[in-house]
Structure 1
């Protein structure tokens, strides 16, 4: 009797483990597809409906097109992958995951900087005021937090390479702060992209035409909905403790 009950418990554990693995594979795959897809869809929108890219005094609109593409690429795609790496690369050594995390942040950084410079210069060329809208305010806060996160992450990673044992307690105290502000930066970046897409649709298409839901309006809305879906899935993955790395809790608490 006891042997049958023990076998039943083992069977339940195996089934639960298989279900959790299927859930993990499904949400990680979906997140990866959406993170890449939202940038691809943005490039399609700009090329097909907005005449592509450029950076010249006589082509300010094409210069502006760099702004939504690079901001979505930086704040959503690269930052999203950077946040999820600690769930995707569960079997990697933690030092390698940190390195990949830094690389994706390094890819996001020039995207955000160039995207900001593109729209800032576009406004100056067109005589439009800067930082007057809710979108620009949210974006400014998101950029500030991203820069702060990047500096803290680089500093702590450098300390890890120079003096791993001597800075262990300091880096351990930074872990929850760095993680919390990383999630906040990602969410704020997604909000900035959503408000920017709405602003662009209203300015370019006009409220009356946009309300008629033209093809370009549908594409813009799909980009926005995809961004919302990415945010929901990323937050869900981060909330699942069982998706975390298999590294022991002690080692995680020591390393940043």
Structure 2
């Protein structure tokens, strides 16, 4: 009887040698891995804290954006005698209302769309973003014409105050931003592959200039409300904390809060949506 141990079969050894042998196909000939969207990134996984922060920022910002225009209309109707194209004083009232609607409410929602519309495709978000900016344009133009005509009728000098200077700079930036954004992110889609790198480069620039324009609009609005309070209410009356002064101050506080929340929502580095807005340009 043979008690010797049988040798290990050679087949497994041969298989092991085959596994160790490098592939004959060069790595550069292999197909590239499928593109990963920002949603697939492990860093973009939403935790409970991320959801709470998202809901708080979006809901609070939306309420404040609507409150800004509602409070402005309330102030004009109950403390500035409303609107009229025949009376220069009442015609002027179109100016703060339309500027707040255009620069703050419409422009603010166009920025927040990149946080709110997470379930929509990138193209739909861009079209909505463009739509809100397009709605802001007639508000800004009509608001500018209203104050210009009102001052012409009362022989008031133009463009001497800090508020007017900030407003002119803001108008220029807004127009430049809209034209460049429309061309870069919508028109150039006709050559999607050829313009991919250019559009990806333009994303952070476009976003940064947009936030800067929004912040500048808030500064212009606050200086305008302050100027209006000092000129129409009077320094002595304003210092006694009259109701109209409290309303104006409340509008300014809302604008300051928006100046904090909206840039925070956009520039949040560990927010999942930041990968979409600032890193990738998928269409």
- What is the CA–CA distance in structure 1 between the aligned matches of 2:142 and 2:193, rounded to whole Å? 38
Tell me what 2:107 maps to: 79
TM-score (norm 2): 0.80
2:151 to 98, 123, 131: 123
Tell me what 1:19 maps to: 49
SS in 2 for 1:245: helix
CA shift, 1:251, in A, is 7.7
- What is the CA–CA distance in structure 1 between the aligned matches of 2:167 and 2:274, rounded to whole Å? 35
CA shift, 1:103, in A, is 0.6
Aligned residues: 239
CA shift, 1:253, in A, is 3.6
Q: Deviations over 1:101-138 (max 9, x none)?
A: 00110011111111111111111111011100000001
CA shift, 1:239, in A, is 2.6
Larger Rg: 2
Tell me what 2:60 maps to: 30
2:80 to 29, 32, 50: 50
Question: Is it true that 1:96 corresponds to 2:124 in the alignment?
Answer: yes
Q: Does the 8 Å contact 1:42/1:223 carry over to 2? A: yes
Tell me what 1:61 maps to: 89
Q: Does the 8 Å contact 1:42/1:69 carry over to 2? A: yes
Q: Note the aligned Cα RMSD (angstroms).
A: 2.0
Question: Is it true that 1:222 corresponds to 2:261 in the alignment?
Answer: no
Tell me what 1:165 maps to: 193
Q: Deviations over 1:132-169 (max 9, x none)?
A: 00000011101100000011112123324422222222
CA shift, 1:191, in A, is 0.4
Q: Deviations over 1:50-91 (max 9, x none)?
A: 1111112xx001110000001111111111111111112122
Q: Does the 8 Å contact 2:95/2:143 carry over to 1? A: yes
Question: Is it true that 1:41 corresponds to 2:71 in the alignment?
Answer: yes
Q: Does the 8 Å contact 2:200/2:279 carry over to 1? A: no
CA shift, 1:246, in A, is 8.1
- What is the CA–CA distance in structure 2 between the aligned matches of 1:249 and 1:27, rounded to whole Å? 17
Q: Does the 8 Å contact 1:159/1:167 carry over to 2? A: no
TM-score (norm 1): 0.88
1:113 to 133, 138, 141: 141
SS in 2 for 1:63: helix
- What is the CA–CA distance in structure 2 between the aligned matches of 1:249 and 1:139, rounded to whole Å? 27
SS in 2 for 1:92: coil
- What is the CA–CA distance in structure 1 between the aligned matches of 2:79 and 2:121, rounded to whole Å? 44
- What is the CA–CA distance in structure 2 between the aligned matches of 1:163 and 1:54, rounded to whole Å? 48
- What is the CA–CA distance in structure 2 between the aligned matches of 1:37 and 1:84, rounded to whole Å? 16
